[in-house]
Amino acid sequence: MSPLLSVIIPVHNRAAIVTATLDSVYSQDYRPIELLTVDNNSTDNSLEVLTNWANRHSCAGFNVSVLSEPQSGAAAARNKGLEAATAPYVMFFDSDDIMEPGHIMRAMQAFINDTSLDIVGWDICNIGLDGHRTRLPFADNDMRYRHTFNSVLSTARYAIKTSLIRKAGGWDNSLPVWNDYELGMRLLMLDPKIKRLHGKCTVTVTQSIQSITGCDYSSRHKQLEKSLDRCEAGIAATDDIIWLKYIRLKRVVLAGLYAREKSPEAHRLLDIALDKEPSLAKKLLLIAAFRYTAAGGRGIHRLLRKVL
């Protein structure tokens, strides 16, 4: 029986921890599964670990392939896996994420019950650098707003029709950060049918200094803004004026985060956002949003949503 789901995991220098992630996939009660691991220029023995694990676990109903991607970056590695995927649905996972038993079963059951679904998403448990656990909810509706401000289509939070993510163009290899955020924008431009799974969190994402996604903003300002520029250009080509205002507020929030880090880039980015807003009254609102965020405030997008 051919697999309905391909699970793709990029790996870079994770020899010490990646087996826990792989074991969590193997422990799923759903079969068949195609697991594609992609070593991305690791300088430790990650490739050896992946190969040995595959040799021990690959079997009927659980086909494991170990690929290599010489171009640096998780986006390139994910695209390598996407190119090789043979199943009609695909799920991306990072090499330090853990899925609980039954996770794949409930996702695939949703697709089986409604074949018109394009994306099935779920809440995740996020463990911060301080060890604090936070539930990050997916969204039942209003996906463009929710993804703009809450990144609900980040890497480990959904499964998707392989044909749809390929139609969207896959991951943008030129974006070193926020490439999952930018991909989510392109997916939403295709107006997919999305279902949220409720219930307990069955995916745990652990933040670390070595994580693919970091926690600092201003030191990566060029890369972050490149992703935002790409998102704004795509949204500007649609007829969704409100969505365009959301992404511009997102830029102001990012400027506020720079200011919180005492970065001189903060006011430069704020000025860019203000130049895009013709209304004086709304310029003042954006300045207030910047100051609120810089002072440590959270959730300004909820406060300003109705007046944008």
- 70 Cα distance to chain centroid: 22
> What pLDDT does 214 receive?
47
Q: Which helix (H) or strand (E) holds 294?
A: helix 280-294
Say yes or no: 147 and 268 in one domain: no
| Per-residue pLDDT reduced to its tens digit, 138-165 | 999 999 999 999 999 999 999 999 999 9
User: Residue 248, Cβ neighbours under 10 Å: how many?
Assistant: 22
| Per-residue pLDDT reduced to its tens digit, 203-218 | 999 987 655 444 589 9
In a domain, 211, yes or no: no
- Domain range for 261: 218-307
Say yes or no: 131 and 260 in one domain: no
**Which of 50 and 128 is assigned the larger pLDDT?**
50
Say yes or no: 60 and 184 in one domain: yes
Where a domain ends, among 149, 182, 206?
A: 206
**Residues linked to residue 120 through DSSP beta bridges, in sequence order:** 159, 195
Where a domain ends, among 162, 185, 206?
A: 206
Say yes or no: 233 and 183 in one domain: no
In a domain, 213, yes or no: no
Instruction: Calculate mean pLDDT across residues 22-47.
Output: 98
Where a domain ends, among 143, 178, 206?
A: 206
CA–CA dist 110, 98 (Å, integer): 20
Reading the block at residue 15, the tokens are: 């020899």
Domain count, the chain: 2
Say yes or no: 54 and 167 in one domain: yes
Burial (CB count within 10 angstroms: exposed 0-12, middle 13-18, buried 19+), residue 278: exposed
| Per-residue pLDDT reduced to its tens digit, 59-110 | 999 999 999 999 999 999 999 999 999 999 999 999 999 999 999 999 999 9
pLDDT at 246 over 60: yes
> What pLDDT does 285 receive?
96
User: Residue 130, Cβ neighbours under 10 Å: how many?
Assistant: 6
What mean pLDDT is reported for the chain? 96
| Per-residue pLDDT reduced to its tens digit, 295-306 | 999 999 999 998
CA distances from 270 to 1, 243, 289, 291, 295 (A): 55, 19, 10, 10, 15
> What pLDDT does 161 receive?
99
User: Residue 298, Cβ neighbours under 10 Å: how many?
Assistant: 9
What is the percent of the chain with per-residue pLDDT over 90, rounded to a whole number? 93
**CATH number, residue 129:** 3.90.550.10
